């Protein structure tokens, strides 16, 4: 009975909406805990034994954000390798549209946030231009699953490619614009490790070797002062793809990430300093983030798709314009990388961080609800038209 229950639970972790459920549960814990016992919440995640500090790890929040989140991005890297080998990224002509849409969809919210920041003389908004850029893969695909099974498979492929490109590009920007000083010796070590791994991986492609690659790259990036979670993406890509072993590893890493990493991250980073969120500065940040996500993100993606069409990119014939518009709205859902970005710029638990956090939460809920409604409507009209 216990084995059957465990097997059913593991299979449940493979569902599209599983990660969204665990992130939501973790976020709810963080929000309620910080509301009922804010001091205890902050002390819990800010504490860390001084004997173990180093490489930028000074709190349990750092352990989760800079350490465990590398596992999440390792899963992203493995998925990216699979898609590049025989998935949506295999034919670059099919990948052009979602890639351009992702890049334009990143630029849109950044431009909106900076514009509002300059207009309102809010330095925090200008400095936080990168916070609203990224899409959340887990939530976006979960919302797509809720929208209905009658949607074309090609739409999921489009969204998956867009979200992967978005997350990888965002984490690279996060690493490149880090607030900490960068050690050139650490970057040189990272380059040397990549060369060694790429060379040796021609002969050794085992799971332990991939995990060793992850650990080595994490250490070198942490020492360099570059955002360590980037190691996950690099480790997922550096070892050549091998169907059976890679798929098995991706499944195991994704399950661990869904069950452990993402809910812990949400609990640690979604807590708010509720008593400090009523000021005009906080309200300006919250409103600006919501506008940047809902308007900037969707407009940017629409322009990216239009540009891709002009360049002759290939689109699946069963994806309608209405579906693309609704899918662009789903891409305004985002917590993981945006909160990592905010946590690097502003101390977690600070007034500014809390305002960005709440703005992202509000925008994500609105984008999910409206996006799902529009997608279901587009799907119904498409089905009626086919009939």
Give tens-digit pLDDT for 325-354: 888 899 998 887 888 788 888 877 678 888
Phi-psi region of 296 (alpha: psi -120 to 50; beta: other; left: phi over 0): alpha
Q: What is the CATH number of the domain that holds 72?
A: 1.20.1530.10
DSSP 154-181: HHHHHHHHHHHHHHHHHHHHHHHT-SSP
Q: Does residue 11 form part of some domain?
A: no
Residue 48 falls inside a structural domain: no
Residues ≥6 apart with Cβ < 8 Å to 105: 135, 162, 166, 297, 298, 300, 301, 304, 328, 331
pTM: 0.77
CA nearest to 290, candidates 246, 334, 258: 334
Residues of the chain with pLDDT under 70: 1-12, 16, 50-56, 87-93, 149, 178-182, 204-205, 239-244, 275-276, 278, 349, 382-387
The structural domain count of the chain equals: 1
Whether 339 is in a domain gets the answer yes
Domain that holds residue 203: 21-35+59-386
Task: Provide, for the chain, the percentages of residues in helix, strand and coil under a 3-state DSSP scheme, each rounded to the nearest 5.
Answer: 75, 0, 20
User: Is residue 13 one of the residues assigned to a domain?
Assistant: no
Residues in the chain: 387
Any domain includes 52 = no
Domain contains 40: no
Residue 304 lies in a domain: yes
Query: Residue 54 has what pLDDT?
Result: 66
CA angle 148, 151, 371 (to 5 degrees): 65
Give 55's contacts (C-beta < 8 A, 6+ positions apart).
Answer: 219, 222, 223, 228
Residue 380 maps to a domain: yes
| Alpha carbon distance 231, 213 (integer Å) | 9
């Amino acid at each position: 009975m216990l084995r059957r229950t465990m097997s059913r639970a593991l299979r449940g972790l493979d569902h599209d909406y599983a990660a969204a459920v665990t992130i939501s549960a973790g976020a709810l814990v963080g929000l309620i805990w910080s509301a009922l016992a804010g001091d205890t919440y902050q002390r819990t995640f800010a504490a860390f034994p001084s004997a173990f500090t180093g490489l930028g790890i000074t709190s349990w929040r750092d352990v989760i954000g800079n350490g465990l989140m590398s596992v999440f991005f390792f899963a992203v890297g493995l998925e990216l390798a699979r898609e590049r080998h025989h998935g949506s990224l295999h034919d670059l002509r099919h990948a052009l549209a979602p890639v351009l849409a992702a890049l334009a969809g990143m630029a849109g919210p950044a431009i909106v946030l900076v514009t509002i920041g300059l207009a309102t003389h809010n330095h925090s908004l200008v400095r936080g231009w990168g916070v609203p850029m990224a899409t959340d893969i887990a939530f976006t695909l979960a919302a797509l699953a809720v929208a209905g099974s009658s949607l074309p498979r090609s739409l999921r492929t489009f969204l998956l490619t867009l979200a992967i490109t978005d997350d990888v590009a965002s984490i690279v920007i996060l690493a490149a614009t880090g607030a900490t000083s960068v050690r050139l010796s650490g970057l040189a070590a990272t380059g040397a490790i990549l060369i060694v791994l790429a060379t040796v991986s021609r002969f050794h492609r085992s799971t332990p070797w991939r995990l060793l690659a992850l650990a080595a790259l994490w250490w070198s990036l942490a020492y360099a002062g570059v955002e360590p979670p980037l190691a996950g993406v690099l480790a997922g890509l550096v070892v050549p793809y091998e169907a059976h072993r890679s798929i098995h590893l991706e499944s195991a890493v994704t399950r661990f990430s869904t069950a452990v990493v993402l809910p812990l991250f949400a609990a640690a980073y979604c807590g708010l300093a509720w008593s400090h969120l009523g000021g005009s500065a906080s309200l300006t940040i919250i409103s600006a983030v919501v506008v940047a996500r809902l308007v900037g993100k969707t407009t940017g993606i629409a322009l990216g798709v239009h540009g891709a069409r002009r360049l002759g990119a290939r689109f699946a014939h069963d994806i309608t314009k209405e579906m693309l518009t609704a899918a662009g709205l789903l891409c305004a859902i985002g917590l993981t990388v945006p909160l990592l970005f905010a946590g690097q710029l502003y101390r977690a638990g600070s007034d500014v961080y809390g305002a960005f956090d709440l703005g992202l939460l509000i925008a994500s809920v609105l984008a999910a609800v409206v996006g799902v409604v529009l997608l279901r409507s587009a799907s119904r009209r498409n089905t009626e038209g086919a009939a």
